[in-house]
């Protein structure tokens, strides 16, 4: 495990019987040998992090090649996240998935883009559903455009208006198109509602045929599933560069983007903005929102097993740097805001730092050797980017500009 030098704090809480299997998984993990130290010039964490090492297998073997990572350790880590946090989707691309272009305008944005609205529909044993994808493709390009897909967790009419009568810095589609990227977005509520209704609506109603268990998928995983269905369409559109589609999310959408990128390796870039707890921020040593807080307020976001780790962060068999590592060698951007203490920006940054050894297997530096930056001074390169924007918990035009800067640099490499 990756060690720091501060003392640890232990917690003892009663554990519900149905949660014992997941704790057994955590307790059965071997004591991993210490990894090579990673230099991090940030303020001291409040506890000894004792992070699980992404490059040591459950059997205690050190992973030293990208082949070993891809064949063995990546699969292990992904499975640990499914079991302990995000849950397991009962279906991938469903049979009979349909795409219907319900609107097309070749002269959108004063002729600068072609607008499409696409209904992506599915059906399962329990019913049917659909999401509406809004897409703007730059006109005048001599090749397919790379694309940013936003998982919109705010009201669609005010943030991803296809008519552009209402514009929002949350999704500055005009600026994205002007930089030569296609701008795509869907509303997460089309896939599953952001409320705890015992998983009886949306895609849960359509596909949850077996009784739910501690490993059943939560709403974050359902929204990530929706992002993959949007990608299923995008890779068929002749105007889109299918190998350069990035997924973007803010806050709960940022958590979703990370899980979508971990589960679906077709995403060439993953952007997690102000995602905090169970997003980019390390759970160990975290201030602000913790596991107990997030599961109490949003009991539907994650699987049942995750609730066992309230006040037991040190017993998790994973931490969020390992989720970031699952994106390697694809492009990863983590962004924070100075006034977003609830998300804990330094722990968001540290996830990128501690994911970097996996990027190094591919000859990419990630955030290796980088120090926590000053506000509005992005750190970019080596397959990864990070910035600390001045301001509050939000997704802004400044953030989007930084994401596009890194994409432009990395897509050329």
Q: How distant, in Å, are the alpha carbons of 107, 160, 162, 257, 265 from that of 119? A: 20, 15, 13, 21, 23
Decide if 349 contacts 372 (C-beta within 8 A): yes
Locus of tokens 């005010």: 158
111 φ/ψ sector (left φ>0, alpha ψ -120 to 50, else beta): left
Q: Which residues are catalytic?
A: 251, 393
Q: Give every CB contact of residue 350 below 8 A, 6+ residues apart in sequence.
A: 40, 42, 282, 321
Give the 3-state secondary structure of 297-323: HCCCCCCHHHHHHCCCHHHCCCCHHHH
Domains along the chain?
A: 98-412 (3.40.50.1820)
Decide if 172 contacts 400 (C-beta within 8 A): yes
How do 145-152 and 127-138 pair as beta strands? unpaired
Please give the pLDDT value at position 27: 39
How do 182-187 and 127-138 pair as beta strands? antiparallel
Residue 210: other Cβ atoms inside 10 A:
8
Tokens representing 246?
Answer: 């990035």
Coil, strand or helix at 325: helix
Locus of tokens 């432009």: 408
Short-list 340, 324, 333, 331, CA closest to 389: 340
Please give the pLDDT value at position 412: 86
Locus of tokens 């369409």: 233
* H helix count then E strand count, the chain: 13, 10
Decide if 144 contacts 239 (C-beta within 8 A): yes
Q: Give every CB contact of residue 186 below 8 A, 6+ residues apart in sequence.
A: 131, 132, 133, 134, 149, 150, 151, 152, 160, 226, 227, 230
Please give the pLDDT value at position 54: 98
Per residue of the chain (413 residues), what is the pLDDT tens digit?
Answer: 664 433 232 323 333 333 444 444 443 444 333 333 343 444 434 446 899 999 999 999 999 999 999 999 999 999 999 999 999 999 999 999 999 999 999 999 999 999 999 999 999 999 999 999 999 999 999 999 999 999 999 999 999 999 999 999 999 999 999 999 999 999 999 999 999 999 999 999 999 999 999 999 999 999 999 999 999 999 999 999 999 999 999 999 999 999 999 999 999 999 999 999 999 999 999 999 999 999 999 999 999 999 999 999 999 999 999 999 999 999 999 999 999 999 999 999 999 999 999 999 999 999 999 999 999 999 999 999 999 999 999 999 999 999 999 999 999 87
Please give the pLDDT value at position 48: 62
pTM comes to 0.90
């Amino acid at each position: 495990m990756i060690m720091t030098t501060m003392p640890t704090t232990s917690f003892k809480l009663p554990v519900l019987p149905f949660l014992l299997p997941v704790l057994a998984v955590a307790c059965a993990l071997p004591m991993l040998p210490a990894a090579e130290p990673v230099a991090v010039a940030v303020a001291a964490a409040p506890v000894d992090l004792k992070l699980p090492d992404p490059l040591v297998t459950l059997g205690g073997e050190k992973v030293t090649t990208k082949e070993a990572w891809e064949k063995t350790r990546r699969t292990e880590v992904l499975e640990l996240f499914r079991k302990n946090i995000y849950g397991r989707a009962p279906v991938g691309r469903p049979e009979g998935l349909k795409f219907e272009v319900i609107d097309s305008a070749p002269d959108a944005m004063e002729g600068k883009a072609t607008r499409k609205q696409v209904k992506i529909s599915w059906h399962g044993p329990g019913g049917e559903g659909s999401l509406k994808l809004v897409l703007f493709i730059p006109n005048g390009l001599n090749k397919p455009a790379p694309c940013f897909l936003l998982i919109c967790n705010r009201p669609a009419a005010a943030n991803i208006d296809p008519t552009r009568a209402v514009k929002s810095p949350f999704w500055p589609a005009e600026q994205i198109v002007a930089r030569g990227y296609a701008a795509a977005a869907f509303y997460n509520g089309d896939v599953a509602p952001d409320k705890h209704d015992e998983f009886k609506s949306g895609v849960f109603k359509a596909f949850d045929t077996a009784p739910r268990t501690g490993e059943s998928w939560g709403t974050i995983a359902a929204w990530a599933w929706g992002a993959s269905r949007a990608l299923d369409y995008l890779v068929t559109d002749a105007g889109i560069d299918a190998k350069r589609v990035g997924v973007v999310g803010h806050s709960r959408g940022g958590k979703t983007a990370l899980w979508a990128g971990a589960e679906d390796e077709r995403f060439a870039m993953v952007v997690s903005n102000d995602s905090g707890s169970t997003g980019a921020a390390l759970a160990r040593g975290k201030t602000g929102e913790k596991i107990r807080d997030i599961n109490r307020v949003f009991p539907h976001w994650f699987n049942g097993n995750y609730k066992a780790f309230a006040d037991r962060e040190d017993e998790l068999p994973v931490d969020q740097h390992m989720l970031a590592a699952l994106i390697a060698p694809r492009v990863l951007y983590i962004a924070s805001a100075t006034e977003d203490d609830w998300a804990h920006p330094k722990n968001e940054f540290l996830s990128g730092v501690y994911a970097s050894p996996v990027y190094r297997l591919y000859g990419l530096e990630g955030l290796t050797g980088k120090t926590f930056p000053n506000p509005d001074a992005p750190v970019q390169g080596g397959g990864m980017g990070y910035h600390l924007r001045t301001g509050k918990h939000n997704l802004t035009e400044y953030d989007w500009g930084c994401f596009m800067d890194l994409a432009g640099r990395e897509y050329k490499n």
